[in-house]
Amino acid sequence: MYILAVQRVKHRKHGGHVGAGPPTHRTQEQRREQTRTALLDATIDCLVELGYARTSVQEICARARVSKGALQHHFAAKSELMAAAVQHLTEQLKQQRIAAVNQLSAGTDRISASIDMLWDAYSGTLATAVTELWVAARTDPDLRAAIRPVDRSLGRSVLEHVTDIAGEDVPRERMEMLFWLTVNLTRGLALDAELGGDPARRQQLLDEWKRIAVERYESPG
């Protein structure tokens, strides 16, 4: 959970290891990467906990235990930081998806597994952070310009993994149609979750879509 980012940063600051032995010396590049990661984790935390409107540079720096000047060495503008934070979270989710794909057995229902993966990708922390940014981006051209390529990159990345799950049994063009139908459904369901909708109803809708998709996209022709 990204909510634990502050504790992780504090832990690293005070040594970050358990047991005896001298502390290791970090290179300048390692320190730079650690600072950047702390800022990105703190940004996601703020978006999820506070929302975009209440997420300030000062709050991000406080949570990351980084000075404002240090932040400016990494990100020239707040919009750039926001886009980088979403990309950072997306990359971590991508690694989780790769591990999940590798664990699928040969007999797995690939269409259902693809839909479950898309729901995981477009819900939860990522959905909360991205929804906050897209709503703000409607009236903020700089933020919109920064977020758009990240969103497109996320779409391409997830599509490739869904295609890998489905394998060669489903033609590419049919897989793309399934992908975009599922993305739009899951984004709507994720928004419903943010607004406090009934979780049982969301699961019912997701299960019904899986039934329709298996019937439609696993049939020949």
The CATH number of residue 27's host domain is 1.10.10.60
Same domain for 99 and 208?
A: yes
Q: Look up residue 144 and give its two tokens.
A: 């919109």
Where among 17, 49, 74 does a domain terminate? 74
User: Could you read off the pLDDT of 138-181 as tens digits, one per residue?
Assistant: 999 999 999 888 888 877 877 877 777 666 667 778 888 888 89
- Domain enclosing residue 33, as ranges: 1-74
Same domain for 142 and 209?
A: yes
Contacts 24+ apart (CB under 8 A), 159-166: 161/94, 161/97, 161/98, 161/101, 161/117, 162/114, 162/117, 162/118, 164/101, 165/101, 165/104, 165/110, 165/113, 165/114, 165/117, 166/110, 166/111, 166/114
**For the whole model, what pTM was predicted?**
0.70
Domain count, the chain: 2
Same domain for 22 and 46?
A: yes
Asked whether the beta carbons of 210 and 112 are under 8 A apart, the reply is: yes
Same domain for 133 and 214?
A: yes
For residue 38, what is the enclosing H or E element?
helix 28-50
Least confident of 1-5, 19-23, 194-198: 1-5
CA distance 183 to 174: 14
Where among 74, 91, 120 does a domain terminate? 74
Same domain for 33 and 67?
A: yes
Same domain for 88 and 166?
A: yes
Same domain for 191 and 150?
A: yes
